[in-house]
Structure 1
Amino acid sequence: MASSTLDVGVQRPTSPGGKTFLGHPRGLATLFMTEMWERFSFYGMRALLVLYLVAGTSEGGLGYTAAVGAAIYSVYNAMLYLLALPGGWLADRFWGARKTVAVGGGIIMTGHFLLAVPSTASFFAGLALIAVGSGLLKANISTMVGHLYDGPNDPRRDGGFTIFYMGINLGAFLAPLVIGTVGQNIGWHFGFALAGVGMALGLVQYLMGTRHLSARSDVVASPITPAEKTAVFRKAAVWAALAVVFFGVVTLSGRMSVDWVIWPLSIAGIAVPVLYFARIKRDKDLDEAEQSKMKGFIWFFVAAAVFWMIYDQSGSTLNIFATDSTASTLFGFDFPSSWFQSLNPLYIMALAPVFAWLWVWLSRRGKNPSTTMKFAFGLLLIGASFLVMMLAMGAAAGGAKVSPLWLAMVYLIQTVGELTLSPVGLSVTTKLAPAKYGSQMMGLWFLAVTAGDCVAAIMQLLVGDATGSTWYFASQGVLAVIAGIALTMYRKNVVRMMGDVH
């Protein structure tokens, strides 16, 4: 976000000594490895998280019900994306991207090692630190990839981001196979510690390779003034004091439980994007065309929220189903249930190039689906995946263990849906963004994940023991299918709102 306001002339040579990384600036290797190890730590811990939450105390877990465990997972995932907004703001106003990523990596590493301590208090403190650190790192490391190139028209730029994207999925693929195996077969806290080691490796090589990064990553784009800093610290102190008083009263009354954390965070995760849209709607600086585009964007935002509400349950309700109701043997080979979490990144690495080629091939023939239809396909597919889960749940009735191929099919359908919606959503967000909100709109787009996960958390708490039942999956699957049909029926209206964006 900061690069658009800076002179390319401040950039140091991108390939000291003539060395490159696959034909790209040497700094790409540093960022590739940093993101790969960060994703390794994140997805490895995520593969164990809900399983540890719902495992009985005799098994070393925390003994929560499936509903509460899934809700904790959903809120945690939602906060990662919500905290990316202040993470980007801190880089722009205080530290610059390079320092912010280093601080974020250190906080993430500390959080993972706190998870390794056999204490409930340290566990939740660790989750909070990982969420904060991920917000700092996630918001800025992609920006630093952009800094390596000579502006948006550098012919190597798209290829660089593709290589970086593969690092994300490589880390996500390997993590459950390694950390999941250790956590389930040796001990939960050993798995969490291994995730911390992964982040430590990523942080060390980041600090060692930082000299290869662009000088633009050091620049604070819009330094905060002393008056603004005082105002920010004052507001932060007030909100922190209110939180301490609120939870102090609840604790002293003897009513403190995890619900008192999940509900406020879930409501906040839904309220923030609503308030943000309301603020933009009231902005008199936006002309009629820009306001119309924002109305069209709301359709895509809601569709994305419904999509992520279901998709992100791969690490919660589907992970529990994998452990409790799915056979862990295929073709005579035994494996931990957490390995199912490697299917999505594996499918992504295999299918992303196919879809990139497919859209170009269809475009050349004038048959490339519109953005609205691609979103509709995504909703229909994510809905279909939960309808398949409904059938799988029915097949597991009475304690039967179903074939692993059920979940393999569900994850395949979800991945195809992701490839029709997620990359297209990033693109249409940049196209529909009013000039005044160019950078902020990308943060608003990621809030669709926050909103969807928070709705899932509330729903999981409300349905309680019915979480994971056939009607639980069926109702959400039908909702997504209806949303996809509605978007298809109203696509002409949405296209009209989009104006000159196609």
Structure 2
Amino acid sequence: MEQPAVKTKQPAGLWLLFMTELWERFSYYAMRSILILYMVYLLQMDKSGASNLYGTFTSLVYLSTLLGGFLADRYVGQKWATIWGGLLIAAGMFVMSAPTVAFLYIAMGLIILGNGFFKPNVVAIVGQLYDKNDARRDGGFTLFYMSVNIGAFFGPLLVGHLAQAGNYKAAFWIAGAGMLFGLATFILGYKKFLPGKGLAPKEKPTFYKDPALWAIALAVPVIALYMKGFHGISYVLFAVLAVAYFAYTKKAKRAKTETAQPLTVQEKQQIAVIGILAFFSIFFWTAFEQAGAALNLFAYEYTDRVISLFGHSWEIPANWLQSLNPLYVVIFAPVFSKLWIELAKRGKEPSTPGKFVVSLWLLSLGFAVMLAGAFALVGNAKIGLFYLAFTYLFQTFAELCISPVGKSMVTKLAPTRFVSLLIGVWYLSNAAANKLAGVYSGYFGRISNVQFFLWLVVVPLAVSGILMLCMKPIKRWMHGVH
């Protein structure tokens, strides 16, 4: 029997979604790269409060994807969720240009909700372009991931000079315009390149009887209380939301199967591994996410950003350094992909928890560079750009050892009927880490730079040591999954 020919050309719809995602990430990272500077130096917020708010905002950006994806699957479909999300994000960028704290809260709320609708549903439409066993699927998602980093690279570069000159209004308008451009690309190209993709389900649950909608209604005061600083109450509501999400998703998963088979011992142990590694990843991302707040402030206050070329000197904006990580990812992601393959051929590829350990070592090494820079600060002196450049380089190496590996680990270990639920666990760990990152960034300027970076060297090393001690039982519970 003749085998069907393997398709090699990517579907045209991928390139439409590539450009849509590129412009959304351009918009988000342009805003993110100047947000802490905007709050501290224009709105005159204290660094601790601004860093806490920044962490709250970025954590809710992650959490909102759970709700946005849920609503799209059950009610509106991915197409309209993407459109609504893009409009909310653009509106948030424009509102943020009004230089008051009140409008800042409103803008953050709009961006959080917009991201929740936009981000998971663009990814879902990408998945709909391929059959389950389509050989082009992995390559397509790799190309799509490149759009994220290209947008993240150019966003800070285009708004940097405006922010440095104090023209934050124009910077946020550029971010909003970028989102609208991406949204227009999606809408104009949808009929030709994505016909029938991302449509609403034909059968929808009764609106007022759906527990998910009550959870979403509860999310509104969670966001408001978080933003206004009532963290004690909001933590309780957050816990209620998390429990409701997992309980409801588990029930829905079981309802889809004819018989709700109990978990085997092996499945329970593999799920435990996901939870354990998700917990350890919180320490990684808490340190890694210092980039948007503490390291951004350090670049502004303590880094000599003057570059001399051809007899001319000029100072690069502090937020431009935020473009280094996505640039490094674009350059080195193929290198790491090939490295794992070559090591696997020789039987020397580290296990998944082994890669987590390596990522923590590299992260610690990156902050050791910053610790050396902190020791070099004497009086009013500033340190060279290369300190941050090398820190971001080591952080990127660390990221490439944990970020794609972690998501892959979840899909390999999770029982088929609980994959979505356990991917939610992974995203929740990211959300928790972003919040903790903001809390720790709040100590920047309150303790010495040496103390600040010393903890970021020591803690990842200590956590890696604990993970190494747990390595044997973790590998045993993985049951042969590498």
Q: Is the 8 A contact 1:266 1:457 kept in 2?
A: no
Alignment match, 2:458:
478
Which residue of structure 1 lines up, in the alignment, with residue 38 of structure 2?
52
- Letter of the aligned partner of 2:229 in structure 1? W
- Secondary structure of 1:182 counterpart: helix
Structure 1 stretches (4+) deviating beyond 4 angstroms? 231-244, 261-284
Alpha carbons 2:340, 2:349 under 8 Å: kept: yes
Matching residue of 1:80: 61
Aligned to 2:120: 139
The 1:442/1:242 distance shift into structure 2, 3 A limit, reads closer
1:42 aligns with 2:28: yes
Q: Equivalent residues in 2 for 1:238-387 (5 A)?
A: 260-261=229-230, 265=234, 285-332=262-309, 333-334=313-314, 335-387=316-368
Q: Which structure 2 segments of 5+ residues have no match?
A: 1-6, 255-260
User: Secondary structure of the equivalent of 1:400?
Assistant: coil
Contact 1:80–1:131 (Cα < 8 Å) also in 2: yes
Q: Is the 8 A contact 1:176 1:341 kept in 2?
A: yes
* Equivalent residue, structure 1, for 2:148: 168
CA–CA distance in 1 between the matches of 2:428 and 2:79?
24
Residue of structure 2 in register with 1:3 after alignment: none
Contact 2:304 2:382 in 1 (8 A): yes
Distance, in Å, in 2 between the alignment partners of 1:443 and 1:85 is 7
Kept in 1, the 8 Å contact 2:67–2:216? The answer is no
TM-score (norm 1): 0.85
The Cα of 1:391 is off from its aligned counterpart by 2.0
- The CA deviation at 1:384 is 2.2
For residues 479 and 500 of structure 1, the distance between their equivalents in structure 2, rounded to whole angstroms, comes to: 30
What is the 5 A alignment of 1:113-132?
113-132=94-113
Residue of structure 1 equivalent to 2:469: 489
Shift of 1:457: 3.0
**TM-fit CA distance, 1:277:** 7.9
- 2:19 aligned with 1:33, yes or no? yes
2:414 counterpart of 1:437:
no
Give the letter for the 2:94 counterpart. F
Question: Could you tell me whether the CA contact under 8 Å between 2:444 and 2:452 is conserved in 1?
Answer: no
Mapped contact 1:108–1:199 kept (Cα < 8 A): yes
80-89 or 281-290, larger mean C-alpha shift: 281-290
Deviation (angstroms), 1:189: 1.3
Q: Indicate conservation of the 8 Å contact 2:246/2:421, yes or no.
A: no
Give me the whole-angstrom Cα distance separating, in 2, the residues matched to 1:471 and 1:325: 15
Report deviation, 1:350: 0.3
* Equivalent position SS for 2:198: helix
Give the secondary structure class of the aligned counterpart of 1:330. Answer: strand
SS in 2 for 1:24: coil
* Aligned position for 2:177: 197
CA apart distance, 1:237: 5.2
> Which of 121, 132, 154 is matched with 2:134 structurally?
154
Given the superposition, is the C-alpha separation of residues 423 and 268 from structure 1 closer, same or farther in structure 2, using an over 3 Å criterion? Answer: farther
Residue-by-residue CA offset, 1:276-304 (whole Å, 9 max, x unaligned): 78999999932221111121112210121
Identity of aligned residues (%): 35
Secondary structure of residue in 2 paired with 1:23: coil
* Residues 269 and 454, structure 1, Cα contact 8 Å, conserved in 2: no
Q: For residue 343 of structure 1, report the CA deviation from its aligned partner.
A: 0.2
**Residue 385 of structure 1: how far off its partner (Å):** 1.9
Amino acid at match of 1:328: R
Q: Which sections of structure 1, spanning at least 5 residues, go unmatched?
A: 1-19, 56-60, 248-256
The partner residue of 1:24 within 6, 10, 17 is 10
Distance 2:54 2:380 in 1: 25
Give the Å deviation of 1:412: 0.3
2-structure distance, mates of 1:303, 1:234: 32
CA distance in 1, matches of 2:369, 2:109: 34
Let me know the Cα RMSD of the aligned residues: 2.8
The 8 Å contact of residues 222 and 237 in structure 2, kept in 1 or not, is answered as no
1:205-241 superposed Cα distances (whole Å, 9 cap, x missing partner): 1100111115242142873234634x55556557757
When normalised by structure 2's length, the TM-score is: 0.89
CA distance in 2, matches of 1:242, 1:331: 49
Aligned to 1:252: none
Structure 1 SS opposite 2:135: coil
| Secondary structure of the corresponding residue to residue 140 of structure 1 | helix
Match of 1:466 in 2: 446
Deviations 1:214-270 (A, max 9, x none): 5242142873234634x55556557757998xx6xxxxxxxxx96624565567668
Q: Which moved more, 1:337-346 or 1:160-169?
A: 160-169
Compute the displacement of 1:110 (Å). Answer: 0.5
Cα separation, partners in 2 of 1:190 and 1:265, compared to 1, 3 Å: farther
